[in-house]
Structures are given as structure tokens and as C-alpha cells.
Amino acid sequence: MTERMMPLAAIEQLCLRALTSAGASQDNAAAVARSTMLAERDGIRSHGLLYVPIYAEHVRCGKVDGKALPVVSQPRPGAVVVDAATGFAHPAINAGWDRFIAAARQNGVAAMTVFNSYNCGVLGHHAERIAEDGLLGLCTTHAPASIAPPGGRVPVIGTNPFALGVPDEAGGIAFVLDQSASVVAKSEILLRSRKGRPIEPGWAIDEHGAATLDPAAALKGSMLPAGGHKGFGVGLLVEILAACLSGSVLSKDASPFSDAMGGPPRTGHCFIAFDTLAFSTTFSHHVASLLGAIAAQADARLPGQGRKAARKRTEREGVMVDSDLAERIEALCR
């Protein structure tokens, strides 16, 4: 495999051109292009350029409405609801964002749900955005079913991540926690499948319930939850918030993100923001004390440290991109 270095701005422009060429509106494509660039910036390759050909295919076949206009409502002072209209998640989230943040500041806490939606990219970036606004953010999103219940073989929930964005006392971000209910993101298995590389032990089982290292067999079977039944419990919590509360299609009924089958997935998201000063004047002090206790241990690591290190490097040097993948995306632009 040959690679070439690309600046972050070039990655964003490449994605933008591919999506507008496929038929997405400029605004919708720009929101997704930025998310793709941020994923590559933070070293999360499974949510970066790898997905651009899929995004473009889904716009062309109608699985995603590239020209969708989200509809925002506010049925209660602390509740913001966004209908993504089977379009991309990012422009729908953007459409409701200002009302959501304003509601949290006014009420002390607010929630925004999004339905009729699609893959929202790296969930931690949305939690980080809430923290950048000076609020404590808890974000959830669900995905087409890929995890079976303990003792079962048929997937009923998705990898269903949650993310926590924590502001610090200086107006910055203390840390971002972003993890899925599965041992790894499903996109990581998809990436291994495309590169012809085996997956790691303990990641998945095949359709017969047997352990497998074959990514193709894993994609036909079930991913394993992190921490066994406890990880499945986390996935159920996310399913209740992101799917049931938002009024979205359940994971078990959603069409896959990875191919053109089944029509729009119509998945959902739930974001909650807290103005910490509405609850306590000691929040920032306690967070600083907690993080200090972690930092005092020589080999201890905070969540998100790997992403922060990748961010510093790629902002300075750019990103090494698979040349074949870049050429495939460039072909979509033509």
C-alpha cells in the first residue's frame, strides 16, 4: 500500500467536492467534510476518508437525502427536537445547536434529540463542542444492530457509543471520554476487512456464535460488548436515549451504514448539556482535583490523550493517506 501526505485543509476540500459531486448541497456537504477532516486530524481513520465513498454512494442512491433541510422545534423550554429529514446528521445537529445551548444556559440543563438521521461521525467531537461552550456534555448515538445480547447470537443493539465532554476552570476542555458499547468500533472491523487483515481475539463471534478472527465472518455475526454483560448494559442505556427517546428506528430495525441496502437508516442521537454553575460552585475544583490524582501517577493516562497527541502532529504535518483511497475519492469528484 502506498501513502501520500495530505494537509488537513486538502482532506476537507476533497470530501466536500466528492459529496457535492454526488448531489449533496453545499451546506450539508461542508458539515460532513469538516467532520471527516476532524476524524483524520485526531487519528480516527475508521471515521475519516474511509467513509467518503460510502457517503457519496448513499447520496446517489437516496439512502441519504443530500439536500435535506432539517426541521427544528422546541416543545418545552429544555427540549430541542430536530428532524434530520433522512439527511446527514451533522447539518441537523448544527441546525438545533444554538437553541440547545441557549436552553441549557437558561434552564441549567437541556437535551436535544435528533431523529430520521444517519451516522454522526466521531461522537466525542460533539461532546467536545458542548465543553467548548462551557457546559458539561453527555452525548449518545445508536447504530444498526451489531451486538447480540449475552447468551444470544442475533444482534439487537448497535455499537452505541456515549461521549462525555468536560469543561475546565479556565474556559477550556478538561477531557473528553468517548467509548462504544463494543470492544472496538464496527468501522474498525470494516477497515480490517477492506485491508485483508485479521481482527483481534475477543472482538467478535461469527453467525454460529463461535469466536473468529475473520473480519468478514465477524460482519455476518456479532461484535462482542466491552466488559461482557456490563458493556451490553451500556449499549441498552444508549439505545433508550438515542433511539427510544428520540423516536427513531430501533437499532434492530435500522438499515446498515456500510452499504446501499434498505433505504435510509433513520437512526437518532441524544445530547444533554449541563450548566454546572446551576448545580454546584465546586464542579471545576473537583474536576481539577480528580485529574490531578490521575496525572500524579507516572504511567496513568486520561481518556483522549492519544487523540490529542495525533491532533498536534497532524495539524503540524498533515495526514498520511492511502493513495488508492484518495484516488477513488478524486474519481468521485470527476
Annotated catalytic residues are: 46-47, 188
Task: Please check whether residue 171 is in contact with residue 248, taking contact to mean a CB–CB distance below 8 angstroms.
Answer: no
State the residue for C-alpha cell 456515549.
162
C-alpha torsion angle, residues 82, 85, 91, 92 (rounded to 10): 10
**What SS3 state is found at 21?**
helix
| Contacts within 8 Å (CB) and 24+ apart, 92-95 | 92/68, 92/117, 93/120, 93/126, 93/269, 93/271, 94/31, 95/70
Helix (H) or strand (E) holding 315: helix 305-317
Burial class (CB in 10 A: 0-12, 13-18, 19+), 232: buried
Beta strands per DSSP E along the chain: 3-6, 71-76, 79-83, 109-117, 136-141, 162-167, 173-179, 204-205, 222-223, 267-274, 319-322
Contacts (Cβ under 8 Å, ≥6 apart) of 267: 117, 118, 119, 141, 142, 143, 144, 158, 242, 243, 248, 249, 251, 254
How many other CB atoms sit within 10 Å of the CB of residue 219? 21
